[in-house]
Chain A
Amino acid sequence: MSQPEPGGESGGAQSAHEAGDAQSLRIDRRTLVKGTVIAGAAAVITSKKTAVFGQSAQSFGGSPSTPAPPALCATRPANSPATTPFVDDLPIPLPALPTLLSPFPTKAANTNAGEAARDAHQAWDAFPPLLFYHSIAAPSLHKFHRDLSPTYLWTFNGRYPGQTFLGHYGLPSLVRFRNSLPIDHPVPAIPEISIHMHNGHTPSESDGFAGDFFGAGLWKDNHYPNVYAGVDQFGGLGDPREAMRSFWYHDHRAEFTAPNNYLGLNGQFILYDSKDPGHELPLPGSLRLPAYYGVTDIPLQLHAILFCPTANGRTEAFIEAAVPAQVDKWIINGKIQPKLTVRRRKYRFRILNTGPAKEWNISLIGSDGLQKPMTVVAVDGNFVQNPFVVNNRTLNIPVATRYDIIIDFSQFAAGTSVYLREAQAQFVGVPTADPAPNLPIGNVAMRFDVVNRELWFPADTPSIPNQLTAMPDPIVPDNTFTWRFTRDGDPLRFRINGQVFDHNRVDHAVLKGSSEEWVLANDVIAGNWTHPVHIHFEEGRIVSRSHTNRDTDGNIVSVDNVPLLPEELGRRDVYRLPAQDRLVIRMRFRDFVGRYLIHCHQMNHEDDFMMVRWDIVETVEELTRKRREIDERRMLAGLPPQYGEDAKKGRLV
């Protein structure tokens, strides 16, 4: 990849174009070999020796010659520029390769060498990192479509989407996130980052706490033990039933998460284990799902942007005072309406909605215009106990939600196409006939072109097992706690339990090893806000969902129990909470301590302070002290205490 001329826009554009081409990993025989090597990397890189083959992060960006900052269009465009459907191949985000880090990572923060201040890595001695990665946040140019000019983004290692981390349970890893963002930045983004691996079982100091952001020139080592939850209880790597597969990493800078993610600071993170090993070979214990990364196991990272008109060789993403809620281009893996050639066999797609605000509702439509089945095997990275088929409704994907789905293309004839439909239409601008009956072109997010499987392409996997996993033991809560998500108070504001986010303030404390029943309540009387609630650290189980019916005066008429959807029966970390709904969930807090977050993952709401810091604490003494302080602070603010008399007396509540 040639480096752009310093500060030269045309040079930068050229470079982005080339990078865009290199990124579209077309699966032919030649790249299959490459892809298989890549997919096998996770298995191969167990030896530290191979780390020397890792690419230097510098070769991907973070170079001194960064693109010039964008000249944003001054007024909101009515539409993005027109784009011809299905001209770009679906890009596959490159897997991140391990590298050597200098200076070598340390348990305590190496502030003398520029590491951001943090607590010492609490899992360092038990799970010392074996694989090291370098990820540099820096500006780069990216082409979202053949018909558009390059767009100024903030990316990791010069790529959008960010490289995919392919890890393995039992192989602790460490990612050095370096901030090389420019001081001169497009308002209202902020060149400060705190990277959260959503929703890893990660010690707090590596969890990307919203207040732990660091500025340009600094870096931070995030240590990922890559263990299952329940290490204290089960020993070893923890409870394998707590396995998660599909994660993503993204910036979590307090109050700027939406713009920083809109500009591209995110990517996927996959963890394998013997059940789901990243290959399709008939090894004992393997479920043998489609598994070759980039070949038969393909990430689909959903994004949505409103573009400015093309000017001066650039097509910038529109952003003014805030990230626009009205966007009109649907983007998958960094391309608008891409196409993907698929063989007549099963494929796994890891779908992730990166937001910042748009909720997706997808379905699969055949060339006959009829809906075709997709089988959901994992939700929020967790295998569901029994796979379920979606063939007569849409799959709802709030921000940050992940679905692993399997599509069997052997049901389609070679030479036909299948379409991923999004319920909301995008703006295309190029007159195009409906690709299938009753399927307007604006609703097509991407196209799959079905071909016969060549001899060299991996043969189909066996049928999907009826049971994928066993659920962990039922959670018996030690306590009940309610989180009220409202838009109320004076001044009117998004609030949780009557308060707005303050990274300096803890609003709930739980004891390590305990478990709680949490009620998520969207009690807003006026308005119709849906909050995709995200809880960091451990996955929860939904116990029940209810919906409150009110009359026009806001009085409660009835409370109905809402049957849970199949995707709500498994383990979750994003809980969709429409107005007047209450969700009862159960959570465990094991293995690590520190500061964690619960927040609305509609990133504009999150940036508007709809977020709470809660702590996992080591001792009863600390728990009692923090709970007492929380109640005192609430009473001083004119709010009712959360824990009541027991907290004052120093008793556990």
Chain B
Amino acid sequence: MKRRELFTGPAQPLASTCCKPGVSRMATLIPNALFRTHENEEVRFYDDIIKGKQVMVMMMYANCENFCPLATKRMVDLHHQALAHRIGKDLFMVNVSLKPEEDDPAALEAYAQMHHALLPGWTFLTGDRYDVDTLRYRFFSHDHIGLDEDPEQHAGLMKIINDPAGRWFHADVFASTRTVLEHIQWSDPPKPLAERLEENRKLQERIDRDRAVYGFRKIA
């Protein structure tokens, strides 16, 4: 079997359940491999982390000194500033180690502690190299296989998954708070048409107000 083929199959055969009414399409895309949390609990990735939930997933590793701490700080800020009322209730944060050989649960807990990220609704995961790679390929590849296999080249994107709604988005964790929140909102379950029409009318009011105040449209 070629290495590439290893990456493309789901962790377990799911063809029989795929796409029947009530079965999330995500189940076919997201591996259900075993991982271990920073609290040393064994979890199945799809069943325990993703299934039925809305989750923000990012890759990191504990010894990463440049971008990971910055990204983690950004997520801590988001947790405190904007999402505190949702995290742990209908929205969850997950970090998956890119270097599972180095990162045991204790290392992940130390990392989380150092960055003040031991917060409710936020899980750090480590697991088997193969499962980590499979996950990365699923979430963050745009088919650039060679690059995606290089741990130094993790794209630093955040995947926002809404399993029941069957929606997923990727966001730049360093984008403005407003932009990140918008991405989370995009992954929220689709609202009824009446509610969306009302939001649309409010957006129009904002556009018209910008025009009146600034002479041009400020809101995107």
B200 and A116 contacting across the interface, CB-CB below 8 Å: yes
B216 in the interface, Cβ–Cβ < 8 Å? yes
B1-18 vs A, Cβ < 8 Å mask (1 yes, 0 no): 000010011100111001
A439 in the interface, Cβ–Cβ < 8 Å? no
Stretch at the interface among B88-96, B120-128, B171-179: B171-179
A75-B9, A493-B156 in contact; A255/B169 too (CB < 8 A)? yes
B19 in the interface, Cβ–Cβ < 8 Å? yes
B193 and A217 contacting across the interface, CB-CB below 8 Å: yes
A188 and B13 contacting across the interface, CB-CB below 8 Å: no
- A609: chain B residues within 8 A (beta carbon): 172
- B86: chain A residues within 8 A (beta carbon): none
Contact of A72 among B28, B166, B167, B207 (CB under 8 A): B28
- B169: chain A residues within 8 A (beta carbon): 255
Stretch at the interface among B38-46, B47-55, B136-144: B136-144
Contact of A69 among B19, B67, B211, B214 (CB under 8 A): B19
A491 and B200 contacting across the interface, CB-CB below 8 Å: no
CA distance A493 to B66 in the complex (A): 15
A604 and B28 contacting across the interface, CB-CB below 8 Å: no
- A211: chain B residues within 8 A (beta carbon): 220
B190 and A322 contacting across the interface, CB-CB below 8 Å: no
CA distance A75 to B138 in the complex (A): 12
CA distance A320 to B15 in the complex (A): 13
CA distance A323 to B207 in the complex (A): 34
Smallest CB separation, A508 vs chain B (Å)? 15
19-68 of chain B: CB within 8 A of chain A: 19, 25-26, 28-29, 66-67
CA distance A112 to B179 in the complex (A): 27
Smallest CB separation, A622 vs chain B (Å)? 6
CA distance A622 to B200 in the complex (A): 26
Q: Can you list 23 residue pairs at the A/B interface with Cβ under 8 Å?
A: A72-B28, A74-B9, A74-B13, A74-B14, A74-B15, A117-B201, A119-B207, A184-B166, A186-B25, A216-B193, A321-B137, A321-B138, A322-B142, A324-B143, A491-B71, A492-B156, A493-B157, A500-B172, A593-B216, A595-B217, A595-B220, A618-B215, A622-B216
580-622 of chain A: CB within 8 A of chain B: 593-595, 604-605, 607-609, 613, 617-619, 622
CA distance A155 to B29 in the complex (A): 25
B155 in the interface, Cβ–Cβ < 8 Å? yes
The 10 A-B pairs of least Cβ separation, nearest first, read A491-B156, A325-B143, A117-B204, A117-B203, A71-B19, A604-B142, A504-B220, A76-B8, A217-B193, A74-B15
Q: Is the interface of A mostly helix, strand, loop or mixed?
A: loop
Smallest CB separation, A186 vs chain B (Å)? 7
A130 in the interface, Cβ–Cβ < 8 Å? no
196-229 of chain A: CB within 8 A of chain B: 211, 214-218
Residues of A within 8 A of B (CB): 69-76, 109, 111-112, 114, 116-119, 183-188, 190, 211, 214-218, 255, 320-326, 490-493, 500, 502-505, 527, 593-595, 604-605, 607-609, 613, 617-619, 622, 637
Smallest CB separation, B184 vs chain A (Å)? 14
Smallest CB separation, A601 vs chain B (Å)? 14
Smallest CB separation, B97 vs chain A (Å)? 16
Smallest CB separation, B56 vs chain A (Å)? 15
B153 in the interface, Cβ–Cβ < 8 Å? yes
B211 and A119 contacting across the interface, CB-CB below 8 Å: yes
CA distance A322 to B29 in the complex (A): 11
- A500: chain B residues within 8 A (beta carbon): 172, 175
- A322: chain B residues within 8 A (beta carbon): 141-143
New contact pairs (18) apart from A255-B169, A617-B216, CB-CB < 8 Å: A72-B19, A109-B204, A117-B201, A117-B203, A187-B26, A188-B168, A215-B196, A217-B193, A320-B29, A322-B143, A323-B143, A490-B67, A491-B154, A594-B217, A595-B220, A604-B143, A609-B172, A622-B215
Smallest CB separation, B174 vs chain A (Å)? 8
Smallest CB separation, B211 vs chain A (Å)? 7
Smallest CB separation, B30 vs chain A (Å)? 9
CA distance A324 to B141 in the complex (A): 10
B185-197 vs A, Cβ < 8 Å mask (1 yes, 0 no): 0000010010011
CA distance A255 to B153 in the complex (A): 20
- B156: chain A residues within 8 A (beta carbon): 490-493
- Inter-chain contact count A-B, CB under 8 Å? 140
A608 and B142 contacting across the interface, CB-CB below 8 Å: yes
Smallest CB separation, A499 vs chain B (Å)? 9
A117 and B207 contacting across the interface, CB-CB below 8 Å: yes
- B220: chain A residues within 8 A (beta carbon): 211, 503-505, 595, 613
Smallest CB separation, A162 vs chain B (Å)? 25
Residues of B within 8 A of A (CB): 5, 8-10, 13-15, 18-19, 25-26, 28-29, 66-67, 71, 137-139, 141-144, 147, 152-157, 166-170, 172, 174-176, 178-179, 182, 190, 193, 196-197, 200-201, 203-204, 207, 211, 214-217, 220
Contact of A218 among B28, B29, B143, B200 (CB under 8 A): B200
CA distance A73 to B141 in the complex (A): 19
- A490: chain B residues within 8 A (beta carbon): 66-67, 156
- B175: chain A residues within 8 A (beta carbon): 500, 502
Contact of B217 among A73, A116, A119, A503 (CB under 8 A): A119
- B201: chain A residues within 8 A (beta carbon): 111-112, 117
A504 and B178 contacting across the interface, CB-CB below 8 Å: yes
Interface-central residue, B10, B152, B216, by most chain A CB under 10 Å: B216
CA distance A460 to B215 in the complex (A): 55
B176 and A321 contacting across the interface, CB-CB below 8 Å: no
- B215: chain A residues within 8 A (beta carbon): 618-619, 622
A116-B200, A117-B204, A608-B142 in contact; A187/B29 too (CB < 8 A)? yes
CA distance A491 to B167 in the complex (A): 25
- B19: chain A residues within 8 A (beta carbon): 69-72
Interface-central residue, B147, B156, B211, B220, by most chain A CB under 10 Å: B220
CA distance A403 to B204 in the complex (A): 39
B176 and A492 contacting across the interface, CB-CB below 8 Å: no
Smallest CB separation, B197 vs chain A (Å)? 6
Smallest CB separation, B185 vs chain A (Å)? 12
- B18: chain A residues within 8 A (beta carbon): 71-72, 74
CA distance A505 to B178 in the complex (A): 11
A74-B9, A76-B8, A502-B172 in contact; A183/B190 too (CB < 8 A)? yes
Among residues of B, the one whose C-beta sits closest to the C-beta of A109 is: B204
Among residues of A, the one whose C-beta sits closest to the C-beta of B159 is: A321
Interface-central residue, A74, A613, A617, A622, by most chain B CB under 10 Å: A74
B155 and A491 contacting across the interface, CB-CB below 8 Å: yes
Among residues of B, the one whose C-beta sits closest to the C-beta of A615 is: B216
Smallest CB separation, B135 vs chain A (Å)? 10
CA distance A595 to B207 in the complex (A): 13
A492 and B154 contacting across the interface, CB-CB below 8 Å: yes
Among residues of B, the one whose C-beta sits closest to the C-beta of A185 is: B166
